[in-house]
Structure formats: structure tokens, C-alpha cells
């Protein structure tokens, strides 16, 4: 996973990617208390170019990518329940 992390870090810089357990746990929840899952990586791209590069890496490495908005969803659509990179949309304009 560290090789994948390094590839992704080159795309968004170290400021906008994390595999820290506290950050990952923060991204594992929505307002729905069921089906909690912890992502392996949280990444915050800023634009379509970064998203494209992230998805290329994910495709090459066969890693599911789950988009996430503000985390206020009530139906568990953005919860990590498998190995993946959680992609946060908050940085995008």
C-alpha cells in the first residue's frame, strides 16, 4: 500500500492525503450509525486533473474509489465497507 500511497501523494501533495488512523476514522462515519468502515487512504483532490490522475492509479492498482461529499448522508452511500481510497469533494470549487 505504501507504493500506492506514494503515487497518490505525488498527485495531490502530502497536505491533501492521509493514512492516519484518526483521519481515516473521521471519514468512516456519516449520520447513520450502521455499517461503519474505515478507509485505507483519504485523499482530497482539487480539480478534474487530479481526479483523473487518482482514478488512473486506482484503475491500475484495482482499488475501488468511493466519492464522499460532506458526510451528512443518511443512507450509507459514502461509507467504506471494503478496501478503498475515500475521495473527499470538499476542496473542489
What number of helices (H) and strands (E) belong to the chain? Answer: 3, 4
- Please spell the DSSP secondary structure of 50-91, one letter per residue: HHHHHHHHHHHHT--EEEESSS--SS-TT---SS-EEEE-TT
Range of the structural domain that residue 78 is part of: 2-88
Residue 54: inside a domain: yes
Residue 93: inside a domain: no
pTM for this entry: 0.71
Helix orientation angle between 48-61 and 2-12, rounded to the nearest 10 degrees: 170
User: Coil, strand, or helix at residue 18?
Assistant: strand
Ordered per-residue pLDDT tens for the chain, 93 residues: 689 999 999 999 999 999 998 888 777 766 666 656 778 888 888 899 999 999 999 999 888 887 776 655 555 555 554 444 555 555 655
CATH of the domain at 14: 3.30.43.10
Residue 82: inside a domain: yes
Where do runs of H (alpha helix) occur along 29-88? 48-61
Amino acid at each position: 500500500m505504501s507504493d500506492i500511497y506514494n503515487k497518490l501523494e505525488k498527485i495531490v501533495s502530502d497536505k491533501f492525503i492521509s493514512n492516519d488512523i484518526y483521519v481515516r476514522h473521521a471519514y468512516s462515519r456519516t449520520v447513520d450509525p450502521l455499517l461503519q468502515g474505515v478507509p485505507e487512504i483519504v485523499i482530497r483532490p482539487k480539480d478534474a486533473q487530479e481526479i483523473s490522475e487518482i482514478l488512473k492509479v486506482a484503475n491500475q492498482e484495482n482499488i475501488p474509489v468511493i466519492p464522499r461529499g460532506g458526510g451528512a448522508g443518511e443512507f450509507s452511500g459514502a461509507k467504506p465497507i471494503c478496501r478503498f481510497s475515500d475521495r473527499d469533494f470538499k476542496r473542489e470549487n
